[in-house]
Amino acid sequence: MKKVKYFLGALALLALASCKEDAPFLFNDVATLQFGPPLSAIYQSGANAAGANRSYTFFYKSPDTRQDTVFFDIYAIGGPSLKDRSFKLKQVQVDGVNNAIPGTHYIAFDNPDVSKNFVIKAGQVHSLVPVILLRDISLKTADAVLKFNIIENENFKLGETDYLWRRLDFTDRINKPAAWSATYQTTYYGTYSTVKHKFMMDSTGELWDQAFMSVLQDPVAPDPARLTYYMTVIKTALINYNNAHPGNALRDELGNLVVFP
């Protein structure tokens, strides 16, 4: 009799224990940190890697502008926390380039004015990393390269290897916007040169910087009619320039003729 009771009791316990909601897999065992795309682009394939290399120029800014801030998106993996979590970045040297000098070309990452912003806020998994660039006179003649990595600290382990770094090429000269992509180079702009870029600016009164070109080339809602209008204006201006300078057609900084497709 006792055995039967034990048997029924075990059966009841089994029945109760058998129905249980699956615990969600929260990835909260280890908090890691890595760079990523803007929030608006997190579902776009390739956006993560595409944002690794950025460029910036002070060229379009007024002469009064002595510093500017470029933001990078960073993501905490492993879920939000109830408290603010600081993180650390460190510049890494790149061979064969003019590496940016802290205090000269940018405000050092360990400067409290900057590092205080290296925080993933409580309840958040995303933050913007401000990198404060300084308009040093040397940028008029040479581009600077700032490559930096996430480094491990008490709050975060390292995330995916491919997304632990960002590189920023910056200058005070005109530079090639990322929107001057291979596709658009083939169809509209041709080979990049600073002379061509400046000519486009002078012909249209537009900056032809990343912000302006991104609107024309918006991947969701591009405006080829407006782009074609500008290219017609530019091509006409180039022909008129060349006609006005017989034997001395517009050439770029490398001596090549400025041409458009």
Partner 1 sequence: MKKIYTILGLTSALFIFGCSKDIGNYDYAPGEVITINGIEDSYTKIAAVDKITLDPEVSSTEKDADFECFWGVYDSRVLGTLVIDTIAKTKAIDYLISQSPKDWTLVFGAKNKKTGVSKYVISTLKVGTQFTRGWYVLKDDGSQTDLDLFKSSVGIVPVDKVENVYSIINGKKLNGKASLFSFQYNYRTNPTGVYANYRALYLMSDKDVSVVDISSLKELNDFNHLFYEAPATKAPSIVTWGYLGGNYVVNDGQLHSLYANLATNTGHFGARRIKDGVNTPYKLSKYFMMGSGIQQNPIFFDEMSSSFVSCVANSTVLNLLTDGTGNKIPVNNNNKNLLFMGTKSGSPYTGYAILQDKSNPSIKILSSLTPVSPKLTITASDTMKVTDKIYNASNYTLNLDDENMIYFTVGNEVWSRNLSNKFEQRQFIAPAGEEITFIRHRKYAGTASGEAPFKYNYIMIGTKIGANYKVRMFTKTSGNLSPDPAVTLDGKGSVGDVIYISPVNSTYLNNY
Nearer to partner 1, 167 or 235 (CB): 235
187-190's contacts with Cβ under 8 Å and 24+ in sequence apart are 187/261, 188/227, 188/231, 188/260, 188/261, 189/260, 189/261, 190/259, 190/260, 190/261
Distance between CA atoms of residues 68 and 61, nearest Å? 9
Across the chain, the runs of DSSP E, i.e. the strands, are 32-35, 53-57, 67-77, 85-86, 88-92, 119-120, 126-134, 144-151, 157-158, 165-171
Under DSSP, the state recorded for 185 is I
Nearer to partner 1, 67 or 228 (CB): 228
Nearer to partner 1, 106 or 230 (CB): 230
Where along the sequence are the contacts to partner 1 (CB under 8 A)? 1, 4-5, 8, 218, 221-226, 228-229, 231-233, 235-236, 239-240, 243
Nearer to partner 1, 4 or 23 (CB): 4
- Shortest gap between Cβ of 18 and partner 1 (angstroms)? 15
Nearer to partner 1, 68 or 206 (CB): 206
